[in-house]
Amino acid sequence: MNKVNATSNGFKCLLCGEEGGYDTIKLKTRNSDHHIVRCKVCGLQQLFPLPTVDEDKEHYDSNPHDRQTTPEFGIEELYKKFEYPNQYRVDYLEKDIGIQKDWKILDYGCGYGFLMEMLLKRGYDVKGCEISEDRLNVIRNRQGNLDRIYTFNLLETGTEIPKELEGRFDCVLSFHLIEHITSPVLFLKKLKGLIKPGGYLLMEMPNISNILMELSPEFNNYNYIRDHVAYYTPELMKSLCEKAGFTVILQKGVQIYGIMNNMNWAINGKPQLTAPSYVAPKCIRWLEDYFKKKVNDDITSEFMYILAEKR
């Protein structure tokens, strides 16, 4: 358990910048003694106190997220676990976003490069950017080299994008990264520098308006994790992109886990961690289809995406 010293001093909302006070939502997260507080001005829930850059570096160098959820830390198992979610993402990138084969695409924070591999196989011109040594080693093993990978770090204040990459990309993708970032407006302004005028930013992240927050007290506790410094609603995510100077084009829910997984949380108070169900048995597929369409349209799904254009 990560011990921290939370005092009432030093609160500043990482989205609106106000220091006007907060309500405490949780006294600890699932894996640390940080508090979760909600800004009285804009309503953003955030970790408190916020980790420093050094604390984050130490935390992420130990790669706790994956070592915790995958005991054996087998990469092939991890690839298989993410095959369905990544296929789901490829589908919406093609059908909703309309990504094109002649676009230059960057997956910023590409992790192990699994989604990148899928996009490359389908003929897209995609590069990645990753800073974690663990993940870079995996990419080197799977792709044979790091030729398609950049390693510049935009997370620290004071760092800038490489000059030669300014305005280079038609579309920058960022999956499950923004919720880890303590200066999100600044970070998005930097990403904007990589995009061509009229180009796009596509981000996917967890959704605090997820119906499970209400449906399952166990999920509600499980959801808060030291790694996530901010918990966005669809409205707050839109506001963030606008603060960084983007025009928001489209927002939609991303419900990857199936209704059986949600029911497990609601009834048994736990997920299906080892064998998650993404698609319900055929006899109740109609229910699954209705459920996914409904939560995706309302953005009350587990995750959500936002498509924004560089003005």
- How far apart, in Å, are the Cα atoms of 115 and each of 39, 91, 98, 173, 208? 34, 11, 16, 11, 24
Q: Residue 235 Cβ, how far from Zn ion at the closest point, in Å?
A: 12
Q: Rule CB under 5 A: is residue 136 a binding residue for Zn ion?
A: no
Q: Residue 46 Cβ, how far from Zn ion at the closest point, in Å?
A: 8
Q: Rule CB under 5 A: is residue 42 a binding residue for Zn ion?
A: yes
Q: Rule CB under 5 A: is residue 50 a binding residue for Zn ion?
A: no
Q: Residue 186 Cβ, how far from Zn ion at the closest point, in Å?
A: 15
d(CA 219, CA 212): 6
Q: Residue 152 Cβ, how far from Zn ion at the closest point, in Å?
A: 29
Stretch that binds Zn ion, among 40-48, 69-77, 79-87, 243-251 (CB under 5 A): 40-48
| Under 8 Å between Cβ of 248 and 307 | yes
168: CB partners within 8 A, 6+ apart: 104, 106, 194, 196
Closest to Zn ion by CB, 13 or 240: 13
Q: Tell me the site size for Zn ion, rule CB under 5 A.
A: 7
Stretch that binds Zn ion, among 5-13, 163-171, 172-180, 284-292 (CB under 5 A): 5-13
Q: Residue 140 Cβ, how far from Zn ion at the closest point, in Å?
A: 41
| Under 8 Å between Cβ of 211 and 223 | no
Within residues 186-225, the interface with Zn ion by CB under 5 A covers: none
d(CA 167, CA 172): 11
Closest to Zn ion by CB, 105 or 230: 230
d(CA 191, CA 4): 31
What angle (nearest 5°) sits at the alpha carbon of residue 89, between those of residues 84 and 91?
95
Closest to Zn ion by CB, 40 or 285: 40
| Under 8 Å between Cβ of 29 and 46 | no
d(CA 24, CA 14): 16
Among 35, 36, 37, 39, binds Zn ion (CB under 5 A): 39
Q: Residue 39 Cβ, how far from Zn ion at the closest point, in Å?
A: 3
| Under 8 Å between Cβ of 155 and 178 | no
Name residue 190's amino acid. K
Q: Residue 100 Cβ, how far from Zn ion at the closest point, in Å?
A: 37
Closest to Zn ion by CB, 40 or 122: 40
Q: Residue 50 Cβ, how far from Zn ion at the closest point, in Å?
A: 13
Q: Rule CB under 5 A: is residue 13 a binding residue for Zn ion?
A: yes
Q: Rule CB under 5 A: is residue 119 a binding residue for Zn ion?
A: no
Q: Rule CB under 5 A: is residue 97 a binding residue for Zn ion?
A: no
Q: Residue 10 region, left (φ>0) first, then alpha (ψ -120 to 50), else beta?
A: left
Within residues 57-86, the interface with Zn ion by CB under 5 A covers: none
Residues in touch with Zn ion (CB under 5 A): 13, 15-16, 39, 41-42, 44
